[in-house]
Structure 1
């Protein structure tokens, strides 16, 4: 069965609105909700970047059924892994076992703010692998001392542990990331609908194959609006950064950098990549690329804060019905 999620996108909405959207998304029938963890929006026009963990705590108390997930947190620079272990354990207690810790190697946009520079990709992979080792050790409840290549932990213990362990999803893109990180995670988080990524993950792990005990979790932006032109304008204003690809998006440091990199991107270019307008059949066609690639969980990003309530009230119930009818 394919599960469908709703993205609580911190770059485009304030914290109180995100909690409201979380409640509405649960009510209309989404299976899970993911939240981005950003210090800065991609573009100035998006205009928001509330603290994800505080907001997720509020969402955990305001909802009762949906799964919750960070999509994704970087546990290596802006946050020390010992602190991520504590935050994840506390959130799992609040969520009564509904939380999955989604982790990734980060983006320069968010991590450079602590003044530690921006490591090369092989170092970021090594840092993430070691961070996950620390998080898992702390989630045993034992006293942890750690001296590694990147991190030190002195006499640390998590005192409030949930009854249900925190499972970890790991964001990967390409063979190098799979080789470095597949053994560290319980679930795959993918940045594009690539069947080769799912196959490589299964081959690297040998156990907990996707579709059995492991999940492959993807995300896709849409811009639903009864007015196609309004949807195209909003998608271009809010999401033109999306077309740069992961390698570009991971390395640019500021919204000004993304503005410069996307200054020649046209509305038509964005609309070619993101379904814009009222056509739910077109949205289903775009989303189907993920389940055809073997993904088990797909989160929908409705672009822009403007129109979220209308999307959730008017389009989402019918869209979920159509997606579930079409998906395997």
Structure 2
């Protein structure tokens, strides 16, 4: 979470995690932190470049938004560059965005259906650029939201990065199955996740593809510390977002989130993330999601105790997981 740590620290934690058995990194694309206390929000593409140099595993932005702050052609260029520098390691996660980050350019902030349509058009632009550039030709695009004059990407890897769509909605998951290379979602009630994966499979089947061969990725928030009390304190102070049981895509300011965070209570985390000092509870929660069919699970411990957590999970949790 680049909202929580200076970029050099984030890169160092990624390298430390790899030394303790973790195999990849998902980084957030934020312009602002969720709450002022988090205190950071570095540029994701700069940090990913450094992570690529310090690690050997896979890496990508959990959900960059190529629809408001950044034109999809620029996102395509950034992604292709990373993939050219680190063949076979970089993937591109795309989401429909939140006002917290996207409103800063002063555009009208649309309702969710329009944001989602813009996202899928952006994917179309990026896909066209990847495909045409690999074939050595120019491409153009004229759609309801984006224009692209005749051009190509001059720096490309031998194979285009995978495009994964980040969503928690079943309708978007079905569209993702039809047009994207894979799915990213967050933890939640098992019934919701099962329905989401089922709709993703439907979309893949309708487009003549096999969903079992497509990446299904989970971002799993958790709070681990030396004691249960410290784990809960970390959750309340550092990640009150995890206890907010309402839509937040229209909230524009970290200071608004700070006011809302005052209403979050310990019981609000029940069912949304495990808050515990017991490594076995966390291992069981991770395994439960692996058993649902996820191929990769990226873990986010919400506290500042990153080094202790990485070492503890590398020693006590990761060895007990079954793919």
The equivalent residue for 2:254 is 255
Residue 73 of structure 1 and its aligned partner are, at CA, apart by 0.4
Residue 288 of structure 1 and its aligned partner are, at CA, apart by 3.0
Q: 1:308 aligns with which of 270, 291, 306?
A: 306
1:157 aligns with 2:157: no
CA distance in 2, matches of 1:93, 1:213: 23
The equivalent residue for 1:201 is 200
1:320 aligns with 2:318: yes
Q: Deviations over 1:235-261 (max 9, x none)?
A: 11111112335x612221111221222
The equivalent residue for 1:29 is 21
Residue 228 of structure 1 and its aligned partner are, at CA, apart by 2.0
CA distance in 1, matches of 2:21, 2:210: 27
The answer as to whether partners of 2:61 and 2:93 remain within 8 angstroms in 1 is yes
SS in 2 for 1:220: strand
Structure 2: runs of 5+ lacking an equivalent = none
The equivalent residue for 1:70 is 61
1:121 aligns with 2:112: yes
CA distance in 2, matches of 1:217, 1:98: 15
The answer as to whether partners of 2:163 and 2:181 remain within 8 angstroms in 1 is yes
The equivalent residue for 1:233 is 233
CA distance in 2, matches of 1:50, 1:202: 35
Q: Deviations over 1:171-198 (max 9, x none)?
A: 1222321344332210011223511111
CA distance in 2, matches of 1:301, 1:292: 19
Residue 121 of structure 1 and its aligned partner are, at CA, apart by 1.1
The equivalent residue for 1:86 is 77
Residue 44 of structure 1 and its aligned partner are, at CA, apart by 1.0
The equivalent residue for 2:161 is 166
Show the 5 A alignment for 1:225-304: 225-245=225-245, 248-270=247-269, 273-304=272-303
Q: 1:184 aligns with which of 164, 179, 185?
A: 179
SS in 1 for 2:100: helix
Between 91-100 and 258-267, the greater mean CA deviation after superposition: 258-267
Q: Deviations over 1:193-217 (max 9, x none)?
A: 511111111112114433x310110
Q: 2:45 aligns with which of 37, 53, 59?
A: 53
Q: TM-score w.r.t. structure 1 length?
A: 0.90
SS in 2 for 1:99: coil
SS in 2 for 1:45: helix
CA distance in 1, matches of 2:126, 2:87: 19
The equivalent residue for 2:129 is 138
Q: TM-score w.r.t. structure 2 length?
A: 0.92
CA distance in 1, matches of 2:232, 2:270: 6
Q: Deviations over 1:11-58 (max 9, x none)?
A: 111100011011111111112211111111111111110111000001
The answer as to whether partners of 1:108 and 1:250 remain within 8 angstroms in 2 is yes
Q: Deviations over 1:96-148 (max 9, x none)?
A: 22011000101111100111121111111111111111101111313122111
SS in 1 for 2:2: coil
SS in 1 for 2:164: strand
SS in 2 for 1:113: helix
1:107 aligns with 2:107: no
SS in 2 for 1:314: helix
Deviation >4 Å, runs of 4+: none
CA distance in 1, matches of 2:169, 2:313: 34
